[in-house]
Structures are given as C-alpha cells and as structure tokens.
Amino acid sequence: MDIRRTILWMIFSFSLLLLWNNWQVHNGKPSLFGGSPTPTQTATPAPTPADASVPTAAPAATGTTAAATTDAAIPGSTAKPAAGSEKVNIKTDVFDLTFDTLGAQLVKAELLKYAAPGGGTEPMVLLDNSASSVYLAQSGVIGAPAGEGYPTHLTPFKLVSSQNDLTGDTLKVVFESEAAGVKVVKTYTLHKGRYDIQVEHDIYNTGPAPVNPSLYLQLVRDGKDPSDTSSFYSTFTGPALYSAQEKFQKITFSDIDKGKTNYTKQADNGWIGIVQHYFATAWIPAEGTVRNNEALRLSDNLYAIRSIESVGTIQPGDHKAIEADLWVGPQDQKAMSELAPGLELVVDYGFLTIISKPLFKIMTWLHSMLGNWGWTIVALTLLIKLVFYPLSAASYRSMAKMKQVTPRMQALREKFGDDKAKLNAAMMEMYRTEKINPLGGCLPMVVQIPVFISLYWVLLGSVEMRGAPWILWIHDLAARDPWFILPAFMMATMFLQIKLNPTPPDPTQAKIMMVMPLVFGGMMFFFPAGLVLYWCVNNAVSIAQQRYIMHKLDKEKAAATR
C-alpha cells in the first residue's frame, strides 16, 4: 500500500482545515478549535436575567446620565457628565488611574510598563470610558427599602484622602458617601510595583433601625475586540470566572446575547473577571463568603459580570468592613497565582495545560539566565529538539531510507502500471527486504505534535513576549516581523526540508508539497515574531539533524558496498 499518498493527503487536508478555521474566525464564526469569535450584535437580543436591585442607569429624578454610568456609557453617547461627577487622577510606578467621584468607580487605567498597541510610546490603556472604549470597575451597596437607595456606582462620593501620588510602598485613596441611613467608605490601597488593588468597603449604619445591605462588585465592558486582535489566530475576549466547584469558566458575549450562558451562579470562593489577550481585570471577594455571580447584557453592545454578597445585619451605630481585591493589569501568572487560586488560568492553554505550564516554567527559568525572551525561545526550541532527538532520528532515518529506494519504487510503478494489488505487494516486499517502516517517518513526529502545539500556545499567550525585543529589527516578539525576514526564512527552510525528503511519485502530490511552504509562510507574515522565530529555529535544527542522519546512512551504505 502507498502510505505516502495517505500521509500527504492528511497534511494537505489539515492545511485546508487551518485555513478554513481562520476564515471562520475572521468572519465572526466560532473557531473549530474552541476559540471565541468576534462578537456580533443582534437586533433585539434577550438580556440575561439580572438582579433588578443593582442600578443600570441613573435615576430619572436626578437627571444624571453621565458617561460613567453603565448603560449610558455606550461609545458615541452624547450624554453630558453628571453634576456630581469629578475625575481624580492617581499615579503609582505602574499605574496612571482615573477615578470618578460618581460612584467612586475606576474609569481609566493606564499601565505604564506596557506600551499601547502599535509600537508607540503611549502607555497601554486597559480600563477606559471614552467614545471608542468602555471598560469600568464598579461597586456599590444595595438592599435599601423601597423608594430609597444606598450608595452605588451612580451615587456621588466625596474624596477624603489628600495624596494622589505614590511616594512610599502603599497609597490609600479614600471615598465616602451616605444615603438612606447608610454610609459607605470605599478605600483603594495601591502598592508599589503591583497590579492588585486592595478595596475595602466600610458600611456604617447611621440610621435608627437595623439594615441588611448587600455589596456588589462589578466589571462593565463593551463587546469590542482589542485593537490588536488578529484574524489569523484566535484569542478570547470576554467575561470569565473561577470557583473551586467548576474551576475556570469562560462566557462569550454572543452567549450572553442569546441567553445561553452556563456558569457557576453561586459559590463561597473564587473570582469574577474579564479577559483579553495579554491582560485581565478581576474582582476577588474574600474566601468563605457566599456570593451570587451574574453575567448579563446591560444594553446594546455593553456587558457586565458581577458578584453580589450579603453583608448581614448591621445594627444602628455599628459598621461592617468587607474586603476584596481588584486586579487590573497584565496576565502575570506568578503574581496572579499568589493573589488568588485559579487566577493565573486567565492564560488559558486549554486541554494542553498539563504540558504548557511546565514549558512556561522552563521558559522563565531560561530567561532568568539569558535575560532576553528571543534567545529564550531559541534555547527552549533547542532543548526540546534535544529531548526528542531519538524520535526525530528514527523519523529522519526512515525518510532517508525511503529516499534511497525512490528510484526502485518508480521502477515498480512502471513495471506493474495500474495493477494496484501487485504493486502494493511488491512495495511491501521491498520494505521488508530493506527493513523500512513506511510509517517510521510519521509516527515519531505525531508523538511530538502535542508538545509543539503546547509551545505554540505558550508563546502566543505569554504577556512576557509583549514589547520584548530580540535582536536588530525585532523590537517586539508579540508583533509581526516588520521586515518579514523571519517568515521568508521559514518558507526557505520549509522548501529545503521538502527537498531533503523523498519526492512523491505522483506529480499532483509533488505540487501540493511545493505549495505548502507558500501557504504556511504566507500565514506567518501575520503571526507574532516570537512564534515565527520558534518555527524558524525548529526548521533549521530539523534540517541539521536530518542532514546528519542522511550523512551517516550514506557512510553506512558506502561501507556495506566495499
């Protein structure tokens, strides 16, 4: 049987599958591999049922329709800022934050250590409330008697702290507001060099009767993909949450629109968040407190995920302090894992996590010695090729033997013509005589595929690659090669690999093999340089290994004929 024909068609079919999948994702359809499509808006979607006590718009009586409120914060809104809305700017060594006194909500977060997409000098803006982007962190207290309202993210607060710049290790930003006999003091504690913010809600009962309020922690975001989203590889943007029961769960904007969400509604642990490529925000309530989770659509192309927990009864004159953490920043796996269980899972490697996580740890270890992520990729690729050398050697040896008998195979084809039965029998006899396993060049490579796919996801999902230079013209391993040198080199190495392998006797198969470097190389023109660097090193080392094996076989054959 001609195994090569089957293998070639498998490779060609897989190539077509990859191209079709990328086309589907580009047109907003679900990825065949479980990725998230670009959200599409429907004319009259059914909103997800939500807790009606959490406000989604300013009360009509106050006339507040500020851009900082939820469903009034749709990009392009012409609403004027509310009378009680003032902006407060806070700076640390990693943050440039903007709070709105309306609700003491965080309405803008610039990450000073990360550049904005496009390679400019401006800092990355994660949270924002502008005409082009809505992404907010909010909280408030609900549960007031009918006709009244406790301080929420729509209630004017007063800034009571005086320091706006971090000069030591910590900085406290304090707001307070009182309504319906309940006073809320909201304290944000920022730390030097850290992206986690401690948020404390002190709830005072200033009225004559006991109160039973609830605290909600909420993230609001529009359904747009980040500006640096690529159509050639799929990354997730949307709400996510974690609980000890169901572990990490992602929720797509389209599922929220359709009312088809499936996630943990109640837990006494975990976190809620919103994830995008390289960055994330998350509210982490205190462990052991029962809370209800909700993911919902607030208005056209505006979504929220929130956690609501009961504070319990507060007697007159008493108060209760509720603590939570707010993460706003990069997907730093080490820092996230130290902050909350499962928070590092926002870097989602899917079903290959068991392989990807050790690979990432090896990468960080190599980087600690090399100090450059580009050389780290080179070193890791070399290390993997070294580990798999025995398998690769078996594969290359099999392919080299196949190449040696190619003239004999062609002669058999000419001898037997269209008699497939006799041709296959003669070929199998030749394989047996020459001790060739027709699958020997394929099976060892199949074993390595999960490792290479895992490494692909590690390189694609690691924020450490973002803005990291390598050498000369490569200034950002997370951006595509500006001069397309690496993709061109990859195509050249793929052509060379094809030349080293046996030439398919079928002209059609041969043409397909020659087209494949153009297809894959063309795709790599749009991939991050770090990924292309990995493929280039992998191809170059594979060629060197294959040439070495072929040279050994030639020497063995020459020695045998003496």
> Which pLDDT tens digit goes with each residue over 161-208?
999 999 999 999 999 999 999 999 999 999 999 999 999 999 999 999
CATH number corresponding to 39-339? 2.70.98.90
Which residue is listed with tokens 């269980």?
341
**41 φ, ψ to 5°?**
-95, 140
User: What span, in angstroms and rounded, lies between the C-alpha atoms of 317 and 300?
Assistant: 42
What integer is the mean pLDDT of 372-395? 88
Integer Cα distance of 479 and 531 in angstroms: 10
Question: Can you give the pLDDT at residue 105?
Answer: 97
- Residues 512-528, mean pLDDT to the nearest whole number: 78
pLDDT at 48: 38
Residue 325 dihedral angles phi and psi, to the nearest 5°: -115, 145
Report the candidate in 27, 28, 219, 14 with the shortest Cα–Cα distance to residue 134. Answer: 219
pLDDT band at 66 (very low <50, low <70, confident <90, very high): very low
Instruction: Find residue 128's DSSP bridge partners.
Output: 135
CA distances from 130 to 76, 227, 313 (A): 8, 14, 39
How sure is the predictor about 349, in pLDDT bands with cuts at 50, 70 and 90? confident
Separation between Cα atoms, residue 111 and residue 97, nearest integer Å: 9
Strand 87-91 relative to strand 95-100, pairing:
antiparallel
Residue, of 453 and 287, whose pLDDT is higher: 287
| Bigger pLDDT: 520 vs 473 | 473
The one-letter amino acid at 478: A
- The answer to whether the beta carbons of residues 217 and 311 sit under 8 Å apart is no
| Confidence band of 51 (pLDDT split at 50, 70, 90) | low
Question: In sequence order, what DSSP letters do the residues of 206-233 get, joined into one string?
Answer: -SSS-B--EEEEEEEEESPPPTT--SSS
- 264's tokens: 């943990």
pLDDT-derived band at 406, boundaries 50, 70, 90: confident
Write the DSSP assignment of 79-113 as a string of letters: PPPPTT--EEEEE-SSEEEEEETBTTEEEEEEEEE
How many Å apart are CA 74 and CA 156, to the nearest integer?
20
C-alpha 293/C-alpha 218 separation (Å) is 10
Strand ranges for 143-213 from DSSP E: 158-159, 170-179, 182-191, 196-205
More confidently predicted of 455 and 183: 183
**What's the rounded Cα separation, in Å, for the pair 160 and 158?**
6
pLDDT interval class at 506 (50, 70, 90) = low
Tokens of 395: 């594969």
The answer to whether 124 touches 207, Cβ cutoff 8 Å, is no
pLDDT-derived band at 138 (thresholds 50, 70, 90) equals: very high
Q: What is the pLDDT of residue 499?
A: 78
Q: Which amino acid is at 79?
A: A
To the nearest 10°, report the CA torsion of 76, 223, 112, 78: 10
Measure CA 508 to chain center: 39
Asked if 187 and 172 count as a contact pair (C-beta separation under 8 A), the reply is yes
CA angle, 531 then 533 then 538, to 5°: 100
Run of H or E including 455? helix 443-461
Task: Show me where the domains of the chain are located.
Answer: 39-339, 367-560
The answer to whether 440 and 502 have CB atoms below 8 angstroms apart is no
Structure tokens at 139: 């909280």
Quick: pLDDT tens for 67-86. 333 333 323 333 345 566 89
Measure the CA–CA gap between 237 and 305, rounded to whole angstroms: 13
Phi–psi pair at 122, nearest 5 degrees: -70, 145
Model confidence band, residue 345 (pLDDT cutoffs 50, 70, 90): very high
Beta bridge partners of 249: 241
pLDDT mean across residues, the chain: 82
Q: What is the distance between the alpha carbons of residues 454 and 388, in angstroms, rounded to a whole number?
A: 15
Grouping H, G, I as helix, E, B as strand and the rest as coil, residue 46 is: coil
Which residue has better confidence, 48 or 179?
179
- pTM listed for this prediction: 0.80
Q: In the prediction, which pLDDT does 545 show? A: 85
CA distance 41 to 44: 9
Please state the three-class secondary structure of 311-379 as a single string: CCCECCCCEEEEEEEEEEEECCHHHHHHHCCCHHHHCCCHHHHHHHHHHHHHHHHHHHHHCCHHHHHHH
Dump pLDDT digits (tens) for 494-503.
888 877 766 6
The whole-number pLDDT of residue 455 equals 83
Whole-number pLDDT of residue 555: 80
